[in-house]
């Protein structure tokens, strides 16, 4: 007997529920499919994105803090420890102790690192604040070169220049000692960074550039457009996205990200925090997350701290975890939005039969890897008959699987076996479905093989 069944994609289920029940986080959690990712990093990885946080070296002995970091985030920014005053406290004497502590912890956990920041008018060491002219220009370029060389090969993206534009209606550069060395200081910094670490993405990072109609946004946009036109090496624009009642999430936030992406750069949300509480804060976080997911070149989101009490604006309770480390409504809204943006549309209709003729299946893997970690997306394709279920075997030559989605797993190192979950076992003849996992190590040689059932 032939039966046809219509299976609705889990993506559709999550987004419907999320739209209907934003703020009712318990209900949302109860309605989330059992196979949705349960951490921010894994949820973001489903669409090839990352979810990061800033951390402070001084808090790394706090086990609650480190526990949340290790569990939830797959990208790390040093909140202060890679800034100019921290890394070159005396001219020509570099100091990387706290920065290394953060970077090594992240990398040992299979997480990537955003470098923040090579050149900035603020948090300069005292010796630099009093410099000017060509000696300052040379000192700045030497700093960029030394720090980017020291971390060569270990940084996913550098904020090469931070906050170089003025607030207000001018759309012009901010006055600073660095700006007074000549308008080309920014491109000079980018060229030095590219030469020092050709593998790192190079970002310009700023705040109050989230609203497309603001003069400051337009000023940055014109600079990036000009850099792309003249071949100045820039790969990404960072939007700090510090929001509160005076500076709310703009209605054109997604358009703004898209407009920059259309210049041929990645966009990244680099320092997200949103003051507030309860469902209004949760809905703002939801909007920001969905805006990133809607822009193909939005590579990921970083929040500026873990718990409210860790924040530089603790009074505004702007983060995803409360002071005790509990998940807030804002956390649930971000997680659900990430899951809704999850594995992509996939097949919405699959046809299966009760008595399939075994036609076999094949599997292939696409890998997104970095130094000590990877995300693998495995594509399972039915042969000449529909599948009712499938089993995949992969081989990890090193490292372990740290999280996975859209498949059941047995084992987390060496030979790892995977089977379909409820919603993706039925695959029509010649059709495909995907599942994914994240792990430490290189992910080389996974060599998936497929058995139909």
Residues that bind ligand XIL (CB under 6 A): 79-80, 162, 207, 240, 271, 312
CB of 149 to ligand XIL, least distance (A): 22
Spot the catalytic one: 88, 187, 271, 275: 271
CB half-sphere exposure, 222, CA atoms < 13 A: 10
CB of 54 to ligand XIL, least distance (A): 7
Dihedral sign from CA coordinates of 238, 240, 246, 248 = positive
Q: Are 125 and 72 in contact (CB under 8 A)?
A: no
Minimal CB distance residue for ligand XIL: 312
CB of 207 to ligand XIL, least distance (A): 6
Q: Single out the residue of 334, 267, 264 nearest to residue 73, CA to CA.
A: 334
Which of 86/401 has CB closer to ligand XIL? 86
Question: By three-state DSSP, how is residue 133 classified?
Answer: helix
Q: Are 335 and 43 in contact (CB under 8 A)?
A: yes
Q: Supply 43's token pair.
A: 């949820």
Kindly compute the dihedral angle of the four CA atoms of residues 78, 51, 274, 202, in this order, to the nearest 10 degrees. Answer: 60
Q: Are 74 and 437 in contact (CB under 8 A)?
A: no
Which of 158/374 has CB closer to ligand XIL? 158
Note if 434 is an active site residue.
no
Burial group, residue 50, by CB count within 10 angstroms (0-12, 13-18, 19+): buried
The secondary structure of 329-355 as a DSSP string is HHHHHHHHHHHHTSS-S--S-----SS
Note if 163 is an active site residue.
yes
Rounded to whole angstroms, the Cα distance separating 89 from 132 reads 17
Which of 219/436 has CB closer to ligand XIL? 219
**Helix pair 215-230, 253-261: axis angle to 10 deg:** 20
Q: Are 164 and 237 in contact (CB under 8 A)?
A: no
- In 249-295, which ranges are E strands? 266-274
Which of 207/374 has CB closer to ligand XIL? 207
Spot the catalytic one: 79, 81, 88, 163: 163
Q: Are 256 and 217 in contact (CB under 8 A)?
A: yes
Structural element, H or E, at residue 290: helix 278-294
Q: Single out the residue of 446, 399, 404, 444 nearest to residue 107, CA to CA.
A: 399
Which of 211/271 has CB closer to ligand XIL? 271
Q: Supply 440's token pair.
A: 């430490």
Instruction: Name 329's Cβ contacts closer than 8 Å, sequence gap at least 6.
Output: 23, 25, 278, 279, 281, 282
H-type alpha helices, 344-401 = none
Catalytic residues, by residue number, are 163, 271
């Amino acid at each position: 007997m032939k039966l046809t069944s219509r299976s609705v994609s889990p993506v559709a289920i999550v987004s419907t529920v999320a739209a209907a029940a934003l703020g009712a986080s318990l209900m949302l959690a109860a309605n989330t499919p059992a196979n949705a990712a349960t951490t921010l990093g894994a949820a973001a990885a489903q669409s090839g994105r990352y979810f990061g946080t800033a951390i402070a070296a001084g808090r790394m002995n706090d086990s609650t803090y480190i526990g949340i970091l290790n569990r939830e985030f797959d990208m790390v920014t040093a909140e202060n420890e890679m800034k100019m005053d921290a890394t070159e406290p005396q001219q020509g004497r570099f100091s990387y102790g706290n920065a290394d502590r953060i970077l090594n912890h992240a990398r040992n956990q299979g997480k990537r690192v955003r470098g923040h920041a090579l050149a900035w008018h603020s948090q300069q060491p005292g010796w630099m604040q009093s410099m000017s002219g060509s000696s300052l220009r040379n000192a700045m370029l030497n700093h960029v070169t030394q720090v980017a060389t020291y971390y060569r090969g270990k940084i996913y993206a550098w904020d090469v220049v931070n906050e170089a534009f003025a607030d207000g209606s001018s759309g012009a550069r901010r006055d600073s000692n660095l700006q007074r060395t000549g308008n080309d200081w920014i491109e000079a910094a980018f060229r030095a960074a590219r030469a020092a670490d050709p593998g790192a993405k190079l970002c310009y990072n700023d705040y109050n550039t989230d609203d497309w109609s603001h003069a400051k946004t337009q000023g940055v946009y014109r600079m990036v457009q000009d850099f792309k036109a003249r071949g100045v090496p820039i790969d990404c624009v960072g939007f700090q996205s510090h929001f509160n009642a005076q500076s709310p999430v703009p209605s054109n936030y997604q358009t703004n990200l898209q407009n920059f992406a259309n210049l041929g750069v990645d966009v990244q949300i680099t320092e997200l925090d949103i003051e507030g509480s309860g469902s209004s804060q949760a809905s703002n976080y939801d909007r920001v997350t969905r805006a990133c997911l809607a822009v193909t070149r939005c590579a990921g989101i970083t929040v500026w701290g873990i718990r409210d009490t860790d924040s530089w604006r603790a009074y505004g309770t702007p983060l995803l975890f409360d002071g005790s480390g509990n998940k807030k409504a804002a956390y649930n809204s971000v997680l659900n939005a990430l899951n809704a943006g999850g594995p992509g549309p996939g097949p919405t209709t699959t046809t299966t039969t009760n008595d399939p003729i075994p036609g076999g299946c094949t599997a292939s893997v696409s890998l997104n890897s970095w130094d000590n970690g990877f995300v693998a997306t495995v594509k399972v394709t039915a042969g000449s008959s529909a599948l009712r279920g499938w089993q995949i075997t992969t081989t990890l030559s090193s490292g372990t699987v740290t999280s996975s989605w859209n498949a059941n797993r047995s084992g987390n190192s060496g030979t790892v076996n995977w089977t379909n979950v409820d919603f993706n076992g039925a695959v029509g003849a010649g059709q495909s479905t995907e599942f994914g996992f994240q792990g430490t190590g290189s992910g080389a040689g996974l060599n998936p093989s497929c058995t139909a059932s």
